[in-house]
Each structure stands twice: as structure tokens, then as C-alpha cells.
Amino acid sequence: MSNQPLNSSDQSKILIFGLLMLPSIGFLVGVIPTLFLAFGIFMMKKNEDFSHVTTAARNFRGYVSLILVGCIIFAAYCATTLNAEKSWDRMDDELIVSLIFAGICMAYLVFLKLLFINPLSNHSAWVEINGIFATKPKKTANTVALGEVDIIKGEKLKQYSVADELIKWAKLKEDGHISEEEFNDARKKLLKRA
């Protein structure tokens, strides 16, 4: 399943996660974790390596966990202040707000796991090569048939460059990087273009 495209359910989960991130970006608290994830996806697509997404998710969790710890510490401070004043009959607005933010942080940590990491890691091999929302495989250089490969690309070669190219191909054959047959094919093509 790792090298299969994401089904519509998994794609929807990722889209929902993105929509859930929008309010946090509006409050500027979620800009940094969103940048972590965006950069991780960008680097995964560039290098075709899924580890960038897992690193970005780890950074996201670390940043949101720091905010969560800060909210819990602030809530504990507000609670001790209320307890010292013996005024539990009126809830302090700061305590309520800090508890709400702590709950939001915990929700984002759960959403990250369920709506982002799980769908992507289930299809990691597919995603790192083809992208998140791709449904067809991307053609790579390896999928081109050997007969379709043009050994010599470019414009008509001049005489001196044909000799240089022959020397290069001979060196590749001597070093064992190409076979005798590949060398002969390249030589024939070079000499035809001369």
C-alpha cells in the first residue's frame, strides 16, 4: 500500500487538516508550524525523500508542545492566584483562555497524527515520488525503454568534438561503465553525424 496513490478518503483528511490550520494561521500562532510542514513537503518533493515530512511533523509537534506547556503553566499560575484569593466562584478569564488554548494545542497534535501523518506515511513511497494529490505515476528516466534513449543529444557535432566524444566513450568502456555493444552503438551514431 506504500506505493499506491492516496485514495479520496486520505486526500480529504489532508485537505481537512489544511483547513483546520487556517484559523491558527490567522492568529499568527500557527504560522511557524505551518511553515515547518510546508517546507517539509517542499523538500520531500524536491529530494524525493519522505524523511523530510517526518522531520517537519516532529518540529510541528515540538513547537505546539511548547505552546501547550506554556498554556498549562499559565493556567496553573492563574489557578494558584485564584486559590490564594479564595474566589473560585468567579472563573478568571485568563484561566479559561489558557485552558482553551491548551485544548486547541492538544487537538492540533491529534489532528496532525490522524489527518496528516497517518495518510501520508501509509503511502510514503508513492508520495515521495509522485506527490500528495497525484493519481498517476510520474515518468522517470528509468521507465524509458533502452531503445528510446538517444545516446548523443544535441546539435550536429563538429569533427573535433566527434573525436573528443569517441575518446570519452572509449574511456567509459575501458573503465567498465559501458559494454562493448553500447560503445559500438555510440561510435556508429557519432560517426554518422560527423
Question: In the prediction, which pLDDT does 10 show?
Answer: 93
Q: What is the DSSP letter of 6?
A: P
- Spatial separation of the C-alpha atoms in residues 166 and 175, rounded to whole Å: 14
Q: Choose one of 102, 130, 158: the last residue of a domain.
A: 130
The answer to whether position 135 is within a domain reads no
Owning domain of residue 179: 146-193
Q: Choose one of 100, 130, 160: the last residue of a domain.
A: 130
- Counting the structural domains of the chain, the total is 2
Question: In the prediction, which pLDDT does 154 show?
Answer: 52
Q: Is 102 found in the same domain as 37? A: yes
The answer to whether position 1 is within a domain reads no
The answer to whether position 139 is within a domain reads no
Q: Is 124 found in the same domain as 163? A: no
Residue by residue, pLDDT tens for the chain (194 residues) are: 678 888 999 999 999 999 999 988 877 778 999 999 999 999 999 998 999 999 999 999 999 999 999 999 999 988 887 766 655 555 678 888 899 999 999 999 999 999 999 999 999 999 988 888 888 887 654 544 444 555 555 555 555 578 888 889 999 999 988 999 999 998 888 888 76
- Spatial separation of the C-alpha atoms in residues 153 and 134, rounded to whole Å: 30
